[in-house]
Amino acid sequence: MAAHQMQLLNSQRLCSTSTRSIRPAVSNRPQVPRRPANVRRGRYQACRTMAIATADEAKQSTSSFDFQGYMMERAVMVNDALDKALPQRHPEVLLDAMRYSLLAGGKRVRPALTLAACELVGGDIACAMPTACAMEVVHTMSLIHDDLPSMDNDDFRRGRPTNHKVYGEDIAILAGDALLSFAFEHVARATTGTSPERVLRVILELGKAVGADGLTGGQVVDIKSENEEVGLEVLQYIHEHKTAALLEASVVCGALVGGADDVTVEKLRKYARNIGLAFQVVDDILDCTQTTEMLGKTAGKDIDVNKTTYPKLLGLEKSKQAAEDLIAEAIQQLDGFPPEKRTPLVALAKYIGYRQN
């Protein structure tokens, strides 16, 4: 057997090892009464059957959609907007560090979701572009800080050395801080064509997504859970906050800028929460099945630090099924929208569920 095949097999064995759930890393959480198991199973099976049927219909509607071309077009638009929004200026080293990570490429999934949600509800993407840029700016900040030695301690991101490897830890921290501040400034200053009330709601959604109730809170619980055997409830908390919160904000804010009513916003929030959780489930799977070259970042780090992941708790196959179910349920939330307008969001959901890096 080839060496790389043996390595992949060993990774899969490690990933499929189950572990028992012990005390949660988060205490004092409210206890929610649960329905009897047979009722939950019946309701789950009915919802899953309906969601899979919706996903099958979605596959037919996106069969002729050029997703790769769509994402390339959106990435060019977003990159151009980011470049113009953050020109080089004094102090040069700080702006160099900010632009180094921000303009390093990437799939631009979050801004694409923002623009697609805006179009879905009949909005103009020009109005949503500052918000779309802000989502990528916040995401980039999170990557810079995530890679620091005191956090995940990673040397590579998007196929090249991480920010602190190039500029040092001090400048990397400050570059992340400056990017976070800039995201809110850019939304407030550059958004046109929508009401101040909606701009304020966007700022509120983004603030929540990045704070203690979102990305930062999820990151803290993730750090405190390393080298501990935590259960599925805590793992889901981590992923819903660390990863899904910003994806949710991307979709919801795009809909807000596009003029969506509250009912539509909440429907799209459900879509986004499902794809957000699926995104991290897939990330866990890829960490133990792909190479560093394929991922553009160090592979196998979850195993190295004994981090609890979906493959570790559920096994590889059940993790893949969980991701498929989440994507199907997300697509179901797009029922009732015009097919030509929902197609990009359907395609983005499928991409998140079946991506390879």
Q: Two tokens at 120? A: 């879905």
- Distance between CA atoms of residues 207 and 219, nearest Å: 15
Q: Please give the CATH topology (third level) of the domain spanning 67-354.
A: Farnesyl Diphosphate Synthase (1.10.600)
Query: Which pLDDT belongs to residue 289?
Result: 75
Q: Over the stretch 84-140, which tens digit does the pLDDT of each residue have? A: 999 999 999 999 999 999 999 888 999 999 999 999 999 999 999 999 999 999 999
Domain ranges of the chain: 67-354
SS3 160: strand
Q: Over the stretch 187-201, which tens digit does the pLDDT of each residue have? A: 999 999 999 999 999
Which of 46, 25, 17, 7 has the alpha carbon at shortest distance from 233? 25
Query: Which ranges of the chain have pLDDT less than 70?
Result: 1-63, 290-306, 357
141 contacts 176 by C-beta, under 8 angstroms: yes
Sequence-distant (6+) residues with CB within 8 A of 250 are 110, 111, 113, 114, 117, 132, 135, 272
Instruction: Write the CA distances from 192 to 126, 128, 220, integer angstroms.
Output: 8, 9, 35
- DSSP classification of residue 184: H
pTM listed for this prediction: 0.79
Which of 53, 52, 72, 64 has the alpha carbon at shortest distance from 343? 64
Query: Which pLDDT belongs to residue 199?
Result: 98
Query: Which pLDDT belongs to residue 295?
Result: 55
Helix (H) or strand (E) holding 161: strand 160-161
